[in-house]
Structure 1
Amino acid sequence: MSTTASGSGDGRFDPSLSAIMGERRQLTNLAYRLLGSLADAEDVVQETYARWYAMSPQQQEAIESPGGWLTTVASRICLDLLGSARARRESYVGAWIPEPLPDRMEWVAGMSDGITADPVDRVTLDESVSMAFLVVLEAMTPAERVAFVLHDVFRYSFAEVAEMVGRSPEACRQLASSARRRIRASQTPAPQAGRQAGVVRDFKQAWEAKDIDALVGLLDPGATMIADGGGLVRTVLRPIQGGDQIARYLVEMAGWAPGLTILERTVNGQPGLVAQHDGVTVTVAAFDVAGDRITNIWAVRNPEKLRPWTADPSISAGERSTT
């Protein structure tokens, strides 16, 4: 976006520009948590700024809190997108998983397709972007999700949330309360970070060794694995239930791509794994761990969701499949 949009027309710097653009990271963080997609979040931020700069200088000056205005507009755009996203995902090939994010130190610079690697735009990695948390958000209604994220994550008052989403404060309070119940119902006691990393590391070693017994020992008997290929790469289209079935599938998957390299990485702020083939990231796996066992695996293979993980998002022809 051109930084001359808020200029006076004579080339002089507009001191309000810095404050307005300073809201960009907050807006990106909000939109990603609401939509589960970095690409969609970036689109929302761009559209929000486009609406700001479409106003006359007089209209801009009349807004008491530009940051609040930007947040309100972004929230309303996200609310509209969440409604349409449900319809789009009904036609999505296989399961839809939120877009995984790398640790800020591992973010690949020079990404294309409109996704910026500017440090000020990076999403803050905390418990509110863990894959387990985002998956629960996906199960909420759009109104629940927006009310909960704005109030419980970003600490806006219910009066402010009501103004942003066009509902009464009491209605927003009830929506957030309903969302909180969903979160509590899905939560399991989280292991210490070091212990979770150890479980994931042991899983990596068992996967590399194609040791089905070791994999089964690390998986909860009722574990679930969900894969997202978007119809662009070979993967299962339905969740795999049970530790034994998951272990056998993972060993079979390793056989599809000889020479697969598995790396320990931070995925959405939690210990995870990245699989690379010929130096290109082909799978990013996030885990939910309870005690010493893995209860959930989310494997993202859709290359359109892996752009932050590799400078070359292309994949080999042999990887492409609609099955």
Structure 2
Amino acid sequence: MIEEFEAERPRMFGLAYRMLGSAAEAEDVVQDAYLRWSGAEREHIGSPGAWLAKVVTNLCLNRLTAACATRERYVGFWLPEPAPTGALGPMETAEQRDAVSIAFMLLLERLTPAERAVFVLREAFSYGYREIAEVLDLSEANCRQLYGRARRGVGERPRFDAPGEQRRRIVERFLAAATSGDLAGLERLLADDVVVWADGGGKVRAALRPITGRDKVVRYLAGIAGRYGQAEFAHADVNGQDAVLFRYGGEVIAIFVIEVSAETVVGLRVVLNPEKLSHLKEVAGS
């Protein structure tokens, strides 16, 4: 039976992560699901995948209810915890990658827990309404209504204008400029109205509001780099996006998730909260 669970583990992690926006919490949920799986009577489990999807979804719903109160008290700007792209399931298409981007995960925060569950099961895992109804113990009609509200709540999905290879090239230039301390080179890569959102969670110093405009963003990036001596920068692939890891003394200090349009960087999501970085030690160079 362990083999059956392990076969479902990647899908369960992907489901929990999309529900919670936290890799650490998703791992906890999968572990809780395993404990329930270990203690379950096998004759009551028809399809392991369906049984685990129901358990994981309901565990996530319980956590989301508590998370709403926690995030109201969060210090500064809250960003989803970045996750290695390879841990999130198939990413063969631009649509699949966009659907786990940090920007899109933020859109999911607009939804109620039930709306988010229906949306994720429908959009990311192609569940039919009958299957969703069985997972959530709701009627099919109710699930259709929840999905409709979720689609309206999410609105227009964020799309990257630059193709994947072009985005990678811009990120490589950003990485080279950061590594060499070339502030003029960084400035040339930024759009006039580039925006930075930083998440320190009250654990480390971070801007509490978005920073807008090329000049302000360059000064902000220079300030982060200036806090440390010999720092390392490395390419990483998280949430279907190219990113830059910032390391100091062997520890991941920050990750810059870069949004590109045409030939410029239009947005930077900077995660500095150390509680959201501990699992990213092995993603550099992916």
Partner in structure 2 of residue 37 of structure 1: 22
RMSD: 2.2
Q: Distance in 1 between matches of 2:253 and 2:56?
A: 32
Partner in structure 2 of residue 18 of structure 1: 3
Partner in structure 2 of residue 46 of structure 1: 31
Residue 24 of structure 1 aligns with an amino acid whose one-letter code is R
Partner in structure 2 of residue 91 of structure 1: 73
2:249 counterpart of 1:278: yes
Taking structure 1 as reference, are residues 216 and 278 closer, same or farther at Cα in structure 2, changes over 3 Å only?
A: same
- Report the identity percentage: 38
Partner in structure 1 of residue 214 of structure 2: 243
Are the equivalent residues in 1 in contact too, given 2:231–2:248 (CA < 8 A)?
yes
Find the residue that maps to 2:156 and give its secondary structure.
Answer: helix
Find the residue that maps to 1:200 and give its secondary structure.
Answer: helix
Larger Rg: 1
Match of 1:62 among 44, 48, 51: 44
Q: Distance in 2 between matches of 1:19 and 1:265?
A: 31
Mapping 1:118-267, distance limit 5 Å: 122-124=87-89, 126=91, 127=97, 128-208=99-179, 210-267=181-238
Taking structure 1 as reference, are residues 278 and 20 closer, same or farther at Cα in structure 2, changes over 3 Å only?
A: closer
Find the residue that maps to 1:87 and give its secondary structure.
Answer: helix
Q: State how many pairs are aligned.
A: 276
Q: Distance in 2 between matches of 1:155 and 1:186?
A: 18
Structure 1, unmatched stretches of 5+, are: 1-15, 105-121, 312-323
What displacement does 1:302 show? 1.4
Partner in structure 2 of residue 77 of structure 1: 59
TM-score normalised by L of structure 2: 0.87
Q: Distance in 1 between matches of 2:140 and 2:191?
A: 42
Taking structure 1 as reference, are residues 310 and 66 closer, same or farther at Cα in structure 2, changes over 3 Å only?
A: closer
Q: Distance in 1 between matches of 2:110 and 2:244?
A: 25
Partner in structure 1 of residue 263 of structure 2: 292
Are the equivalent residues in 2 in contact too, given 1:228–1:301 (CA < 8 A)?
yes
Find the residue that maps to 2:31 and give its secondary structure.
Answer: helix
What displacement does 1:213 show? 4.8
Runs of 4 or more, structure 1, over 6 Å off, are none
Partner in structure 2 of residue 12 of structure 1: none
Deviation per residue, 1:98-132 (Å, 9 max, x gap): 1112355xxxxxxxxxxxxxxxxx43363132222
